[in-house]
Chain A
Amino acid sequence: MKEEKSVPSDLSPKDENWMDKKVEFKKGTYCYGAPLKHQKYLDLPHPREWQPHNEDWNLPENWKEIILEGMKSLLEKYRSFKLFMDICVRCGACADKCHFFIGTGDPKNMPVLRAELLRSVYRRYFTLSGKIFGRLSGARDLTYDVLKEWFYYFYQCTECRRCSLYCPYGIDTCEITMMGRELLNLLGLNIQWVVEPASNSFRTGNHLGVPPPAFKETMGFAVDEIEELTGIKIDVPINRKGAEILFVAPSADYFASPHWYTLLGYLMLFHEIGLDYTWSTFASEGGNFGLFHSYELMKRLNAKIYEEAKRLKVKWILGGECGHMWRVIHQYMDTMNGPADFLEEPISPITGTKFENAKSTKMVHIAEFTADLIYHNKLVLDKKRNDKWIVTFHDSCNTARSVGLFEEPRYILKNVCNYFYEMPENTIREKTFCCGSGAGLGADENLEARLKGGFPRAYAVRYVKEKFGVNMVACMCAIDKASLPILLDYWLGGVEVCGIHELVGNALVMKGEKERTKNLRGEPLQREENEKGL
């Protein structure tokens, strides 16, 4: 009997129907609501100050109608939505595939239940069997509690699409979450970490709200840093009309750490191959937080890339290392804001390679571009300069499961560093685990949820750390670069995070450079004696 006393019994949930369990907004698990200013700037519906933990969400009076109308319209617009509402058999194959489920142990984070949150309402109002049999067939009324549950769980999904891989019908929880968020947005229920960057991006061109002069100034810092490291003064073209290529990167690359070193890598590479390109202060953001909000906002934010390419009269566009940016560019941009008939089919000016796979969208991923350069021996690389690092590669969800960029980054890594080890097979490539902070969840207030969601990823990193002494995780996503350092610091420590092009920059032997003694981070190139024992 003693252990009964010892066990915190109030935490242990009772055996109950999941539909009866109300959601509890525990601190650390949810994101804050969006500030009024930014909601207004983007003309979002029902703008107001609100917080998820408030009892009263100040909903418009006819909120039920709005949701049901919205649902109807989405069902008409998206075959994916309609189909995924109908064909699930609840086989449970997806249940243990979600990193949030694995990390939090909350059964409603099982992809099947996340979708059932919407399906139950769909059945009740849009299907015959739901109307007749109600609960028995998994239908339930749309209530205030259901709405709160939607908010809680659709903002606890990073739209990483891992579960869809294992679904025998290809049901994509990312689609479900996107639809869920579309509906919530009809009532003005959105989060700060999505709406604020989106509004900044709309106004200034980038998520951080960096005005053009500041952009130029940071590029100046980068130029200074590169000169200090290599003795070479490079040029960073901004808004240059008539350049061959427009380069678009996520804004974190020029304002966050460790993204910064990836930026240095890009700049050194472009200088070394003499690329005729330009940055833009208008299209100064590749990332698109609209994707995490609604179709419309995604399209509004994405429009500037083609518009700027047209204004600057470039031939094609090159894109930096980013995850969800590439989801938008690969699967949405051309359809939404194309056709890009004012651009030319991308051809690498250095190697003459035609990028057939980007023929229509006319935007090439920098990993494709660099891998091609290396393959054609256009770069002199000194792998030894990365000997300090024992590297593993984390596939970012979007570039993995939505684009299929698996070999390009690995090819680059194998050519720029001597020590490269893969994580276990069921945690990489198409089976990769999310960092836990994608889809707009990288806020500070939900740190606990993020750390739990990222645990499966951290666990796999720990495995290679212990087995091979890995001390660097390379990745190609701005959100990864922001969230993985925190995640790895908490769970294991002693492992750093970098972009692919940081390692390229380290290894790149530039014409006329002085002898390099430091890497891009300003640290000695080799491991210190006392670290060698690792």
Chain B
Amino acid sequence: MELRNLILERWLEVVLESYHKEIKTFCIKERDSFLNPVGSTYRESMGIVLDALFGIFSHERVSFALENMVKIGCLNGYSFDEKKGYIPFLSILIEEIAGYDFEKKVRQKLEKLLRYEEEIYVKTREKLENLRKKPSLVPYERLKING
């Protein structure tokens, strides 16, 4: 459990690195989740992913958690690639903290997670573009057709 928490804190720090320093501390420390949805969402989701990694792996829960993280990332200039992404960061951290042997043990799961992340990333980007195009003035369009 301690290992999980250690990794979680480090992971959180690394991911929030892209935020302004002043804000990073806020996101990590502010415990009121409604005042700090970014930090809380990351914390919660990372917890789910790590639990899956160390325990029972549920596709549904893990995808949900990754999706929540990717959604925040996509609005903040994150783009997925094999080296830069939530799961790649995690892999490096695990190897660093728990050692190479441990990483080997969970590598299969990590690879699965990596594929999920990629999938979710593509899906989220698409969604974002669709939302941008989505006209909110539906009946007006209809009227235009009628003349």
Could you say which residues of chain A place their CB within 8 Å of the CB of B119?
Answer: none
Q: Is the CB of B139 within 8 A of A8?
A: no
Q: Within the complex, what minimum Cβ distance (angstroms) separates B54 from chain A? A: 20
Q: Within the complex, what minimum Cβ distance (angstroms) separates A434 from chain B? A: 14
Q: Is the CB of B38 within 8 A of A102?
A: yes
Q: Is the CB of B89 within 8 A of A107?
A: no
Q: Is the CB of A456 within 8 A of B128?
A: no
Q: Is chain B's interface secondary structure helix, strand, loop, or mixed overall?
A: helix
Q: Within the complex, what minimum Cβ distance (angstroms) separates B52 from chain A? A: 19
Q: Is the CB of A102 within 8 A of B37?
A: yes
Closest to A214 in B: B143
The reply on A181 being an interface residue by CB < 8 A is no
Q: Within the complex, what minimum Cβ distance (angstroms) separates B9 from chain A? A: 13
Given contacts A102-B36, A105-B38, A217-B146, contact A6 B88 (CB under 8 A): yes
Q: Is the CB of A6 within 8 A of B89?
A: yes
Given contacts A8-B17, A8-B84, contact A218 B139 (CB under 8 A): yes
Could you say which residues of chain A place their CB within 8 Å of the CB of B38?
Answer: 102-103, 105, 455
Q: Is the CB of A13 within 8 A of B140?
A: no
Q: Within the complex, what minimum Cβ distance (angstroms) separates B133 from chain A? A: 8
Interface bits B62-101 vs A (CB < 8 Å: 1, else 0): 0000000001100111000001100011001101100000
Q: How far is the CA of A2 from the CA of B132 in the complex (A)?
A: 37
Q: Is the CB of B137 within 8 A of A490?
A: no
Q: Which of B27, B32, B35, B146 contacts A105 (CB 8 A)?
A: B27
Q: How far is the CA of A455 from the CA of B38 in the complex (A)?
A: 8
The reply on A204 being an interface residue by CB < 8 A is no
Q: Within the complex, what minimum Cβ distance (angstroms) separates A168 from chain B? A: 18
Q: Is the CB of B92 within 8 A of A15?
A: no
The reply on B18 being an interface residue by CB < 8 A is yes
Q: How far is the CA of A9 from the CA of B84 in the complex (A)?
A: 12
Q: Which of A103, A448, A460, A485 contacts B136 (CB 8 A)?
A: A485
Contact residues, A440-485 vs B (CB, 8 A): 444, 447-448, 451-452, 455-456, 458-460, 463, 482, 485
The reply on A534 being an interface residue by CB < 8 A is no
Q: Is the CB of B139 within 8 A of A105?
A: no
Could you say which residues of chain B place their CB within 8 Å of the CB of A8?
Answer: 17-18, 84
Q: Is the CB of B21 within 8 A of A12?
A: yes
Could you say which residues of chain B place their CB within 8 Å of the CB of A13?
Answer: 20-21
The reply on B111 being an interface residue by CB < 8 A is no
Q: Is the CB of B136 within 8 A of A11?
A: no
Closest to A27 in B: B77
Q: How far is the CA of A221 from the CA of B140 in the complex (A)?
A: 11
Q: Which of B84, B92, B142 contacts A2 (CB 8 A)?
A: B92
Could you say which residues of chain A place their CB within 8 Å of the CB of B133?
Answer: 444
Q: Which of B34, B96, B140, B146 contacts A3 (CB 8 A)?
A: B96
Could you say which residues of chain A place their CB within 8 Å of the CB of B23?
Answer: 105-107
Which one, A122-130, A253-261, A377-385, is touching chain B?
Answer: A253-261
Q: Is the CB of A456 within 8 A of B20?
A: no
Contact residues, B44-67 vs A (CB, 8 A): none
Q: How far is the CA of A15 from the CA of B20 in the complex (A)?
A: 9
Q: Is the CB of A96 within 8 A of B35?
A: yes
Q: Within the complex, what minimum Cβ distance (angstroms) separates A424 from chain B? A: 6
Contact residues, A413-440 vs B (CB, 8 A): 424, 426-427
Could you say which residues of chain B place their CB within 8 Å of the CB of A491?
Answer: 71
Could you say which residues of chain A place their CB within 8 Å of the CB of B77?
Answer: 11, 26
Contact residues, B99-147 vs A (CB, 8 A): 127-128, 131-134, 136-140, 142-143, 146
Q: How far is the CA of A9 from the CA of B18 in the complex (A)?
A: 8
Could you say which residues of chain B place their CB within 8 Å of the CB of A3?
Answer: 10, 14, 89, 92-93, 96
Q: Within the complex, what minimum Cβ distance (angstroms) separates A387 from chain B? A: 26
The reply on A489 being an interface residue by CB < 8 A is yes
Given contacts A8-B17, A260-B139, A490-B128, contact A448 B75 (CB under 8 A): yes
The reply on B5 being an interface residue by CB < 8 A is no
- A8, A102, A427, A458: which has the most chain B beta carbons within 10 Å? A102
Could you say which residues of chain A place their CB within 8 Å of the CB of B37?
Answer: 102-103, 455-456, 458-459
Q: Is the CB of A102 within 8 A of B140?
A: no
Q: How far is the CA of A214 from the CA of B137 in the complex (A)?
A: 14
Contact residues, A243-296 vs B (CB, 8 A): 252, 254-257, 260
Q: Is the CB of B26 within 8 A of A96?
A: yes
Could you say which residues of chain A place their CB within 8 Å of the CB of B96?
Answer: 2-3
Q: How far is the CA of A257 from the CA of B138 in the complex (A)?
A: 6
Q: Which of B17, B33, B146 contacts A459 (CB 8 A)?
A: B33
Q: Is the CB of A105 within 8 A of B14?
A: no
Could you say which residues of chain B place their CB within 8 Å of the CB of A252?
Answer: 137
Q: Is the CB of A255 within 8 A of B137?
A: yes
Q: Is the CB of A444 within 8 A of B140?
A: no
Q: How far is the CA of A254 from the CA of B83 in the complex (A)?
A: 50
Q: Is the CB of B14 within 8 A of A490?
A: no
The reply on A525 being an interface residue by CB < 8 A is no
Could you say which residues of chain A place their CB within 8 Å of the CB of B134?
Answer: 486
Q: Is the CB of B84 within 8 A of A456?
A: no
- 23 CB < 8 A contacts A-B: A3-B10, A3-B92, A3-B96, A6-B84, A6-B92, A7-B17, A7-B89, A8-B84, A9-B17, A11-B17, A11-B77, A13-B20, A96-B30, A103-B37, A105-B20, A254-B139, A256-B140, A260-B138, A451-B75, A455-B37, A459-B34, A486-B136, A490-B128
With A105-B23, A452-B76 already in contact, 5 other A-B pairs whose C-beta atoms are closer than 8 Å: A6-B92, A7-B14, A13-B20, A210-B140, A255-B139
